[in-house]
Chain A
Amino acid sequence: MSKPVIGFAGMTHLGINSAAAAAARGFETVCFDADAALIAQLKSGKLPVVEPGLPELLEQSKSRIAYTADVADLKRCGVVYIAADVPTDDRGQSDLSGIRALIDTVVTGLGGNAILVVLCQVPPGFTRSLALPKERLYYQVETLIFGRAVERAMHPERFIVGCVEPDKPLPQAAHTFLSAFGCPILPMRYESAELAKISINCCLVASVTVANTLAELCERIGADWSEIAPALKLDKRIGSHAYLAPGLGLAGGNLERDLATVCWLADAHGTDAGAVRAWMDDSSHRRAWPLRTLHGEVLAAHPKAVIGVLGLAYKENTHSTKNSPSLALIAQLKPWRIRVYDPVVPVSSAAHPDVTGCASAVEVAQGADALVIMTPWPVFRDLKADQLARAMAGRAVIDPFRILDGKTVASAGLDYFTLGVPPLRDKKR
């Protein structure tokens, strides 16, 4: 069989990355979005998302990519992926109206034998609930990671595919496409695949919660989590890729969505979700770590303190600020002046009455009584401790993600606070 044309409906972060990977694997790719302005932007080479490696990947495959706002252009596709954003509310509940509307639109342009694949985060039961011929309807788990989306799309660990009849072979077009990535393909029933996605995220959150819980204990008893985590990763039952870096709670929206889904499903079906609720509590507790540290170390003694905040995005290498710990912190610092820099996110994202946007990380430190590194952007690793010591008015460097070397910072006469270890203070003072 000749290679099928692959369609992607919804030019979201997920849709663009997935389309780029399909094209890079040698498939003709149709990128559809009803938003004509967005399509025009993509045609001109301007991306609406920040993702390392994505512009290059699109550039090298551009001869195989067609952007369109006309749903009829999907007619020639053998497989069409639905890649809509599924927004969540403050409680992590999904709004599925957008994805349903997109599916309704796409169906009108679908070829007679085309396969439709839902690639979005949806609650278990969603795919089966769609009033579409089930033999042509599939669900596929996406494992997009902001900042590492290209690598994940090009080299997936496996494909998890939800089907109406998992014992039957996949349609040829879908099989040809997925086989091109050279990883295992795991067909299973719709609900299993939908819950597999959630299960993966639950395992990640469980690992992070372990790290957070024990890292906080390290901070109080004189242990160092960075010494413990490598030992755990050598344990085969845990693994070298385990998520064991302590953090500032869940952010980005996707993990929160899955935990909320497990809770309401468990409540509806009478199963126990106590552990999941404990993970959510831990997330909320750790999110406030920078605020607690600032109050304990700086704000109580300096009512007019100036706070430098580095980073606004919820994580490095992304423009996304969904549930960003940085924005959450800034919202609680209204009585104080703050100075802010993020390589991508504009200062206007920070809701604060007295915020100054700076052009660089060093400029943020100028005159600051405390410097808080809230997003682990790689560029912040270039900061020099002695430079900070000269620039800052105060001594507190709060670096939850260990962007800087704590000992060097303390040696420069600063007090260093990070997750998982007691504070390192300047011994000379």
Chain B
Amino acid sequence: MLNHLNEKPINPARVVVLGARGFIGRALVAALQQAGIAVMPVSSADLDLTAEDGGDRLAAMLKPDDAVVLLSALTPDKGRGLQPFLSNIRMAASLCHALAKVTPSHVVYFSSDSVYPMRVGLISEETCAEPEDLYGMMHLAREMMIKSATKSPVSVLRTTLVYGAADTHNSYGPNRLRRMARKDGRIALFGQGEETRDHIPVDDVAGLTVLALRHRSAGTLNVATGCSVSYAELAKKVAALFDGPVEIVGAVRQSPITHRHFDVTNVRKAFPTFVFTPLEKGLAKAHCEMMEQG
């Protein structure tokens, strides 16, 4: 649950976005700029948080009235092994080093629903975080590192599966399904696509983050829509966006069926007037953007 230090929303003086060139980072920078909030986008090209001097260099960038958003991470498509784990921890350690020198007005950490075990079908913020792999453990460790490194209020945003045309990760979700349909006229599912998941458009993630920044919120929030669909349903919705026929094919299941739903009551409580983009609308927008990109 988030507690708002600003009951009425106030724009932060400046938001330093670490990982600004990533999929969510770009959307967040755009949303902040659209809201008239000063942004300092920082990418790995500007500042290598894994470098020895990463923390000092970051500290030199920060001002006490800044809000800092940490999105920088090696995502699972870069590997789920020990090296990405250590690199990601190293990035967070640099932020912690900087936070020891400068106390910003607010810190937002982008975590992941990978901190939750797959055996739990309905997730809320009260669900015990028990990561099942190093990637989830990394996020949980980074959450704890950051919270213990600063006196600033910290928002931990645990995002579920995020989609949008600009996503480069190609993990199993709307983006990959859309790309498969476009390239091959065919969507291949794991099993018969029985698993249910919650897919949130990147613009909604950015919108909720802007709200958390403006309210200077502290606490943990799962960033999910509360509406899960099966991959089979998702494939049908994606296929329907194409003019031509798209074949949807199943495969012999290699792993057990798992489901993930979110109880988003705390999102409703934190940001009652926020309206999620319906899945059909979000998919259609991502589809149009992809087609425009060529």
**Which A residues are within 8 Å of any B CB, using their own CB?**
281, 284-285, 288, 291-292, 295-296, 299-300, 303, 332-335
Contact = CB atoms under 8 A, between A and B. Distances in A.
Contact of A332 (B226, B268, B276): B268
B126 A284 contact: yes
Given A300-B276, A334-B272, 10 more contacts: A288-B268, A291-B268, A291-B269, A292-B263, A292-B268, A296-B226, A299-B272, A300-B275, A332-B268, A335-B272
Nearest to B127: A281
Nearest to B269: A332
B293 interface: no
B273 interface: yes
Nearest to A216: B122
B168 interface: no
Contact of A285 (B124, B268, B269, B276): B124
Interface residues of B, number: 12
B265 interface: yes
A335 B271 CA distance: 10
Contact of B263 (A285, A333, A334): A285
Nearest to A280: B126
Contacts of A333: 272
Nearest to B268: A295
6 contacts: A291-B265, A292-B268, A299-B272, A332-B268, A332-B272, A335-B272
Contacts of B263: 285, 288, 292
Contacts of B273: 303, 335
Nearest to A287: B265
Nearest to B266: A288
A303 B263 CA distance: 21
Q: What are the 5 tightest A-B residue pairs by CB atom distance, in nearest-first order?
A: A288-B265, A300-B275, A335-B273, A295-B268, A335-B272
Nearest to A295: B268
Contacts of B272: 295, 299, 332-335
Nearest to A281: B126
Nearest to A331: B269
Interface string B249-281: 000000000000001110011001101100000
A221 B272 CA distance: 28
Q: Which residue, B126, B268, B269, has most C-beta atoms of chain A within 10 A?
A: B268
A334 B273 CA distance: 10
Contacts of B226: 292, 296
A302 to B, nearest CB: 10
A324 B279 CA distance: 35
Interface string B99-130: 00000000000000000000000001010000
Contacts of A284: 126
Contacts of A292: 226, 263-265, 268
Q: Which residue, B226, B264, B265, B276, has most C-beta atoms of chain A within 10 A?
A: B265
A333 B265 CA distance: 13
A403 B240 CA distance: 43
Contacts of A335: 272-273
Nearest to B267: A295
B113 to A, nearest CB: 18
Contacts of A332: 268-269, 272
Q: Which residue, A295, A296, A299, has most C-beta atoms of chain B within 10 A?
A: A295
A154 B273 CA distance: 50
Contacts of B269: 291, 332
Nearest to A303: B273
Contacts of B276: 300
A331 B275 CA distance: 19
Contacts of A296: 226
A291 B126 CA distance: 18
Interface in B158-173: none
Contacts of B275: 300, 303
A281 B120 CA distance: 14
Nearest to B263: A285
Nearest to A285: B263
A81 to B, nearest CB: 40
Interface in B108-155: 124, 126
Contacts of B264: 292
A285 B126 CA distance: 10
Contacts of B268: 288, 291-292, 295, 332
Contacts of A291: 265, 268-269
A333 B268 CA distance: 10
Q: Which residue, B124, B269, B272, B276, has most C-beta atoms of chain A within 10 A?
A: B272
A344 B269 CA distance: 28
Contacts of A299: 272
